[in-house]
Chain A
Amino acid sequence: QSVLTQPPSVSAAPGQKVTISCSGSSSNIGNNYVSWYQQLPGTAPKLLIYENNKRPSGIPDRFSGSKSGTSATLGITGLQTGDEADYYCGTWDSSLSALAVFGGGTQLTVL
């Protein structure tokens, strides 16, 4: 069972907007930056969002991130069929020592 909680799946039509939630605690999301990763089928994860809401070079502004308290949200607008993937949130947990933690992943289906 993952330390961070994500919905198993979300879906929306092309062109629409979708949000994916990520819930944690004060020892992880509450006191650390959140990052988001996109994993297309059969490929390694790719960094989408870092420091809660920043996008690496090359990531379109259709992808956005936010954080409030012990939860974070990934937003994707203008959905495309190529966005179909698994999305993971991640952060560090400082409860005992520096540990990285991930969510259970959310499968996005673009109907």
Chain B
Amino acid sequence: QVTLKESGPVLVKPTETLTLTCTVSGFSLSNARMGVSWIRQPPGKALEWLAHIFSNDEKSYSTSLKSRLTISKDTSKSQVVLTMTNMDPVDTATYYCARATVTTGDAFDIWGQGTMVTVSS
């Protein structure tokens, strides 16, 4: 069974750096046909894609947030990590990690449950 699970702080202060971890099971992060994205959703708002890491370690970032984001993976730990610097209250959102596979045309076929992050002093 394929699962993804996000973990990280529930509350961060403005200007702090957020670090989120996505732990996957049921597939390998070295699988050439798969990659993992981070996607967020502010309360009551739409999905916003943040970053993606491919099996070959190539990375892609949202144009508007690129300067603040870093995505990385530890294949041996089956983890994908996202860091976002200089957090602001507008970054309050549920953060999801999701798998994209070649077999589904790079659609996000499996999503984590999401982790809610609040930015407040």
> Which A residues have a C-beta under 8 Å from some C-beta of B?
2, 33, 35, 37, 44-47, 50-52, 54, 56, 88, 90, 92, 96-105
Interface range on chain B (Cβ under 8 Å from partner): 20 to 34
Residues of A within 8 A of B98 (CB): 45
Question: What would 16 more interface pairs be, CB under 8 Å, given A35-B107, A44-B96, A88-B46?
Answer: A35-B104, A37-B47, A44-B112, A44-B114, A45-B47, A45-B108, A47-B108, A54-B104, A90-B49, A97-B60, A98-B52, A99-B63, A100-B39, A100-B100, A102-B39, A102-B47
Say yes or no: is B48 at the interface (Cβ < 8 Å to chain A): yes
Query: Which residues between 69 and 111 of chain B lie within 8 Å of chain A, taking CB atoms?
Result: 96, 98, 100, 104-111
Check A44 against B113 for contact (C-beta < 8 Å).
yes
Residues of A within 8 A of B108 (CB): 35, 37, 45, 47, 90, 100
Check B52 against A102 for contact (C-beta < 8 Å).
no
Check B106 against A33 for contact (C-beta < 8 Å).
yes
